[in-house]
Amino acid sequence: MAYVLALDQGTTSSRALLFDRDGQVRASAQREFRQIFPQPGWVEHDPEEIWSSQRAVIDEVLAQAKVAPRAIAAIGITNQRETTLLWERATGIPIANAIVWQDRRTAPMCERLRADGVEPVVRAKTGLVLDPYFSATKIRWLLDTVPGARARAEEGALCFGTVDSWLAWKLSGGRLHVTDASNAARTALFNIHTLQWDEELLQVFGVPPAILPEVCASSAVVGATTPSVLDPPVPIAGIAGDQQAALFGQACLDPGTAKNTYGTGCFLLLNTGTRPVISPHKLLATVAWNQNGRITYALEGSVFIGGAVVQWLRDGLGLGRSAAEIASLAATVEGTGGVYLVPAFAGLGAPHWDASARGLIAGLTRGTTSAHLARAALEGIAYQVADVLDAMQADADIPISELRVDGGAAASDLLLQFQADITGIPIVRAGVLEATALGAACLAGLAVGFWRDSADLARFVAAGRRFEPQMPAADVERLRAGWRKALARAKAWENA
């Protein structure tokens, strides 16, 4: 068997990639799917579109590489996290659209629970904050809103899953209802210390245990595909949330190593080893992976809108036809002309956690051009990451000597140089930007012996360009002071 197949199911597209024994991508396919916005602050996906797009790219990548399923040693799944689905156990039919991680509809519910004193319990047991970002309140909303859903859930007639669970169910023809610890840890229902679904939290959020998937290891054979998907069947042997998979794929295997993925959002993770770090700055303690019976933890800062702001410039404002074109436009000016763009379209994540914040453009003058807006958007991504990095270093008390980066927006030299400048930390771009998919592939390949051990991963991760800080400290402080001023105006917008 010559390949491992990685399924990278993201927020805006589904992808499939074939990796060979040298960790190289031999074929890849991608399909976008609809983003559904029923109301301001609501974001949904059609679960069947998620599956149909993922199913299609599996066929496309095999056809592109001209290989049969028998050439695939294993499948690794990596996925957008926290996105919440409910489907009928008997038929596999979803009872509603998936509620996406970006969705803010449960913010009032979170406020009520916070007033009831629930947040300290959530923090202590899950490492998370009480926020609409996570799955628990989304599940409760669906159970309370979809007619008959709660009664069917209590009877065990419904299944809950994050997207990894949904894909495993569909790939296996309904035989597998599983998730891994890295995804379970993002629900606010999973105790990261006992590594079990937590009875107290299930009661707090009103979630019947009968709907929950079995929690499995991140690197282990949990089942196989049904012949109608791939014949002969292929083992499903790796599952990890996209950011944990990227941490693995960047070979951040030792405590103190850190990565940032510039995707739809930005997700900065620091490997903290065998202990979770509960953050005074409200960063997230999370399970990184469960491999060979050993749990690795990470400290995470989540920025809700990263590369998505570039997509908004493209689709919403028509400033360019592609992300590369917008990056080129931004590079035509030396600075933003005093313009700041705070992309709080879905509220603010770490370390601010303000669900009522909204996007803001400040500092406009008559001389502001589309190029200034494009540059301000890219710099806005970097400022958010810098805020998270400051909090992370304070909480973990672990010096970060470099930040390894991947993801689509990491292709921008302008963004990464600015990131290095305002953080004062060297930024190292991966030689291959497919770290998320590579991580999923490696977790699966290791489980079936396709690769020997994690040491093999180091030789796959060749460093690309290194960006050293160059900006004078006084300029950094002036720019970040302007960012803090714009940020203050964007906060609590819905409550003002």
Residues making up the annotated binding site are: 11-13, 15, 81-82, 133, 242-243, 264, 307, 311, 408
pLDDT at 27 over 80: yes
Sequence ranges of the binding site for glycerol: 81-82, 133, 242-243
Q: State in words which class domain 3-243 has.
A: alpha beta
Instruction: Say what the pLDDT of residue 97 is.
Output: 97
- What's residue 364's pLDDT? 96
What would the two tokens of residue 153 be?
């859930």
Question: Residues within the annotated binding site for ADP?
Answer: 11, 15, 264, 307, 408
Read off the pLDDT of residues 172-191 as tens digits, 9 standing for 90 and up: 999 999 999 999 999 999 99
CA dist 493 and 485 (Å) reads 14
pLDDT at 60 over 90: yes
Query: Distance between CA 306 and CA 350 in Å, rounded?
Result: 13
Residue 117 burial by Cβ neighbours in a 10 Å radius (0-12, 13-18, 19+): exposed
Binding residue positions for sn-glycerol 3-phosphate: 11, 81-82, 133, 242
Lowest pLDDT segment from 156-170, 323-337, 469-483: 323-337
Residue 196 predicted with pLDDT over 90: yes
Q: What is the pLDDT of residues 204-242, one digit of tens each?
A: 999 999 999 999 999 999 999 999 999 999 999 999 999
Instruction: Classify residue 186 by its DSSP letter.
Output: T
How far apart, in whole angstroms, are the C-alpha atoms of residue 291 and residue 274? 12
> Which one has a higher pLDDT value, 160 or 410?
160
Chain centre to alpha carbon of residue 393: 21
Q: Does the pLDDT at position 273 exceed 80? A: yes
Q: Which of 3-12, 329-338, 393-402 has the lowest mean pLDDT?
A: 393-402
What confidence tens digit (pLDDT) does each residue in 349-397 have? 888 888 889 999 999 999 999 999 999 999 999 999 999 998 888 887 7
Name beta bridge partners: 417: none
pLDDT confidence tier of residue 286, bands split at 50, 70 and 90:
very high
pLDDT, residue 13, reads: 92
Residues forming beta bridges with residue 361, ordered by sequence position? 341
Q: Where along the chain do its domains lie?
A: 3-243
Q: How far apart are CA 350 and CA 436, in angstroms?
A: 21
Residue 6 has pLDDT above 90, yes or no: yes
pLDDT over 70 (residue 462): no
Rounded mean pLDDT of 108-126?
93
- Other CB atoms within a 10 A radius of the CB of residue 305 amount to 26
Helix/strand/coil percentages in the chain, nearest 5: 35, 25, 40
- The arithmetic mean of pLDDT across residues 46-75, rounded, is 95
Residues 381, 415: contact at Cβ < 8 Å?
yes
pLDDT at 440: 95
List pLDDT tens digits, range 415-456. Answer: 999 999 999 999 998 776 688 899 999 999 999 999 987 777
Cα–Cα dist 184/216, whole Å? 10
Instruction: Report the pLDDT averaged over residues 75-103.
Output: 96
Q: Predicted confidence band at 45 (pLDDT cuts at 50, 70, 90)?
A: very high
- Contacts of 54 by beta carbon, 8 Å cutoff, 6+ apart: 7, 9, 14, 16, 167, 170
Residue 32 CB-half CA count within 13 A: 6
Average confidence (pLDDT) over 40-48: 94
270 by Cβ neighbours in 10 Å (0-12 / 13-18 / 19+) ranks as buried
Residues at the binding site for ATP are: 11-13, 264, 307, 311, 408
